A and B are shown apart, each in its own frame.
Chain A
Amino acid sequence: MPRFRFKERSVLPGFGLSLGYALFYLSILVLIPLSTLFWKAGSEGWPHFVNAAFSPSALASYKLTFGAALLAATVNMFAGLLVAWVLVRYSFWGKSLVDALVDMPFALPTAVGGIALATVYGPNGWIGAHLAKWGVNVIQTPIGIVIALIFISLPFVVRTVQPVLQELDAQLEEAASSLGASRWMTFRRVLFPYIWPALLTGTTLAFARAIGEYGSVIFITSNIPFRTQITPQLIYTRLDEYDTAGATAIALVMLVVSFALLLFINALQAWSRKRMRG
């Protein structure tokens, strides 16, 4: 991996122009809007900020949001890898249909996803009715939130892992097997190290996406503080109460934590990629 250098000699001209444009673009769309958060959050002074950002209901919502997102991303790490594996390794009838289906959560308005999940998992729904017999209630509980987050973040893992699996050299497996390795051993010691960086990337994206999800969750839970209120819902509630400074304070905490998490995972990824590739 090349070390960072400000300007690299390159075959293609226009380094200055393209860098300038990229930075300008990022500033207009990401940096400036987000930086106003800092300004807005501080507009009513430090005590108000602390009260709004670290109130018990806010803390409960952080816990729920990050916890549910982490759980959903973890589930998708396994499920997504499995789906990608099946799509790459096997050919079966209707494969391209399944392949297209994976992208549905990308294309669908998340509200539609939320309504669909609420219908299926509701007490009278297809799956919900069965679960109700066992005393499991999905709607109005954190379980429902996790399911919604799993739904919307599934494509990230599948789509990042799939190309890596496709490019895996079949001879690596054959070499391992001719050396006496079992299938599991071949997967764990030979294939997994190649897949791991992509899997980590996909899981990070899924996690990031799940943290910010709002549309589908509101159809499944009804915004009960300390129970099913995720942070985006809390922000919306604060705005409803005309507490803009409070809303931005919470938003700022979310921003900082998300950014720190992404930065950490990116570093982890860079490290593991370096270790794999040399």
Chain B
Amino acid sequence: MKITVRDITKRYGAFTALQNVSLEVPQGKLVALLGPSGSGKTTLLRVIAGLEAPDSGSVLYEQDDVTQRAAKERNVGFVFQHYALFGHMTIFENIAFGLRVRKWKNEAVRERVMELLRLIQLEGLEKRLPSQLSGGQRQRVALARALAASPQMLLLDEPFGALDAKVRADLRRWIRQLHDEIHMTSVFVTHDQEEAFEVADHVVVMNKGRIEQEGAPDAVFASPANAFVTDFLGHVNVFHGRIQNGRAHIGTEEMPMSFDVPAPQNGADEGAEVTAYIRPHEVDIDRVSHGSDSMFAIVTRVNRSGSTVKIALVAQEGQLPLDVELPHERDAELGLVVNDRVWVYPRQVRVFRREEAAQSGDAKIAA
């Protein structure tokens, strides 16, 4: 089932949760709505489910306008962050709820529930109460309950949010596998970009009630459309500077550093304030200067415990902290130790005008 969202606006008093949002979720795709809290991602999901009525705009399932239809008439599976299982019912009855509502015969209910229990790998636990299960198990029960009546789509609101890291990773993988098996149109909300990229076919990045960018995970990661998306997609170094002679200059008079301004942002006028974003793994370190494309820095910390070597430096006489990730091989060649004086040169820099960057909040080294 294809979902089309057209010009949805939703306000809560003075707060605008969604502003003219339009989105298309293709049949059979797994889409992630990604954004910080307050970005409107959950509201959008709830509007699609019919749990929230938009102030204007419409929601279509295929060609069918369902905007005015209540949640119970939409045949949508919804999974809540905190499971929302019915505490007084057994696991069996929880999963069977949607079937009982539809007045299925006992035999058929039993068969379907058992089938779902196999699917979520919780056979034998049907007589337990939700309080007797772990978080991960509960969330799988919630999923089975949502899937029981064969909904047209599956909507998940931060489905892994309440779980600890290990369970989270397992369930993430499992959800992806499940989707590959049943190919149901699915939308899930998350504030974790790693989660979105790992699980989804299509990522929609939201901020302040608007969609900032959408596309395949690789495409969004490789070419973020603006400052907000760049900042939001994981760890990045942030520098401020201005445009001079068609190039962005970062740094001070004494320690200048400049980069070619990437094409889409070339509209920037001479002298315009800009913010440059540099990802830690897109930087190299050398012992010699590469001219104005490189920056002098001092190593403050080297961490070799991960899959890459994480090096913390300060540039411009302690004014500018900077993080770099190098492959172990490159690190071995350099043999860096703390207090080494080195030159840092970025392979790729993304530059956006300051006004835009300011919109996305304080530009700083974002985690």
Which positions in A face B, CB cutoff 8 Å? Answer: 169, 171-172, 174-182, 185, 189-190, 193-194, 275-278
**Which secondary structure characterizes the binding site on chain A?**
helix
Task: Please provide the 10 A-B residue pairs with the shortest distance between their CB atoms, ordered closest to farther.
Answer: A278-B129, A179-B98, A171-B84, A178-B78, A175-B84, A193-B88, A276-B88, A177-B72, A180-B101, A177-B71
Shortest CB-to-CB span from A276 to chain B, Å, is 4
CB of A174 within 8 A of CB of B51, answer yes
Among A181, A182, A194, which residue has its beta carbon within 8 angstroms of that of B87? A194
Q: Give chain A nearest CB distance to B39 CB in angstroms.
A: 20
Q: Can you name the residue of chain B whose Cβ is closest to the Cβ of A276?
A: B88
Assess the A180–B84 pair: CB atoms within 8 A.
no
For A177, list chain B residues within 8 Å (CB): 51, 70-72
- The residue from A179, A190, A277 contacting B149, defined by CB atoms under 8 A apart: A179
| A277–B84 CB distance below 8 A | no
> What is the CA–CA distance of A175 and B51 in the complex, to the nearest angstrom?
9
Q: Indicate the size class of the contact surface on chain B.
A: 20 to 34
**Which parts of B53-99 form the interface with A (CB within 8 Å)?**
70-78, 80, 82, 84-88, 97-98
Most buried by A among B70, B78, B84, B131: B84
Please tell me if B113 contacts chain A, counting CB pairs below 8 Å: no
A192 CB → nearest B CB, Å: 10
Say yes or no: is B105 at the interface (Cβ < 8 Å to chain A): no
The smallest C-beta distance from B360 to any residue of chain A, in angstroms, reads 31
Query: Which of chain B's residues have a CB closer than 8 A to the CB of A181?
Result: 72, 97, 101
B131 and A180: CB pair below 8 A?
no
Residue in B51, B72, B76, B88 whose CB lies within 8 Å of A182: B72
A180-B98, A180-B102 known; A174+B87 contact, CB < 8 A? no
Given contacts A177-B72, A178-B76, contact A169 B84 (CB under 8 A): yes
Residue interface mask B128-172, A partner, CB < 8 A = 1: 010110000000001001101100000000000000000000000
A178 x B88 contact (CB < 8 A): no
Taking a contact as CB atoms under 8 Å apart, the answer to whether A278 and B70 are in contact is no
Known: A177-B72, A181-B72. A278 touches B145 (CB 8 A): no
B86 A190 Cβ-Cβ under 8 A:
yes
Q: Is B101 a contact of A179 with CB atoms below 8 Å?
A: yes
Given A171-B80, A171-B84 in contact, is the A277-B131 Cβ separation under 8 Å? yes
Among candidates A171, A179, A193, residue contacting B97 with C-beta atoms closer than 8 Å:
A179
**Alpha-carbon distance A181/B129, docked complex (angstroms):** 21
Closest residue of B by beta carbon distance from A179 = B98
Q: How far is B85's CA from A62's CA once the two chains are assembled, in angstroms? A: 46
Contact of A276 with B87 in the complex, beta carbons under 8 Å: yes
Q: Is A176 within 8 A of B82, CB to CB? A: no
Q: Within 8 Å of chain A (Cβ to Cβ): is B363? A: no
Contacts A175-B80, A175-B84 known; list 14 others, CB within 8 Å.
A172-B84, A174-B51, A175-B142, A177-B72, A179-B148, A179-B149, A180-B102, A181-B97, A182-B101, A190-B86, A193-B88, A194-B87, A278-B88, A278-B132
For this complex, 7 residue pairs linking A to B, each with C-beta atoms less than 8 Å apart, are: A174-B78, A175-B86, A175-B145, A178-B72, A179-B97, A277-B88, A278-B88
Q: How far is the CB of B255 from chain A (nearest CB, A)?
A: 54
Q: Judging by beta carbons under 8 Å apart, are B88 and A194 in contact?
A: yes
